[in-house]
Chain A
Amino acid sequence: NAGVTQTPKFRVLKTGQSMTLLCAQDMNHEYMYWYRQDPGMGLRLIHYSVGEGTTAKGEVPDGYNVSRLKKQNFLLGLESAAPSQTSVYFCASSYHSDTQYFGPGTRLTVL
Chain B
Amino acid sequence: AQSVTQLGSHVSVSEGALVLLRCNYSSSVPPYLFWYVQYPNQGLQLLLKYTSAATLVKGINGFEAEFKKSETSFHLTKPSAHMSDAAEYFCAVSDRGKVGGANSKLTFGKGITLSVRP
Describe B's contact surface by its main secondary structure: loop
For B110, list chain A residues within 8 Å (CB): 40-42
How many pairs of A and B residues are in contact by the CB < 8 Å rule? 58
A104 contacts chain B at the CB level, 8 A cutoff: yes
Residue numbers of B with Cβ under 8 A of A are 9, 32, 34, 36, 41-46, 49, 51, 90, 94, 96-97, 99-100, 102, 104-106, 108-111
* Distance A5 CA – B41 CA, assembled complex (angstroms): 15
Q: Which of A4, A48, A90, A103 contacts B105 (CB 8 A)?
A: A48
Residue numbers of A with Cβ under 8 A of B are 4, 30-31, 33, 40-45, 48, 50-51, 54, 56, 58, 90, 92, 96-105
Report the minimal beta-carbon distance from A35 to chain B, rounded to whole angstroms: 8
For B36, list chain A residues within 8 Å (CB): 102
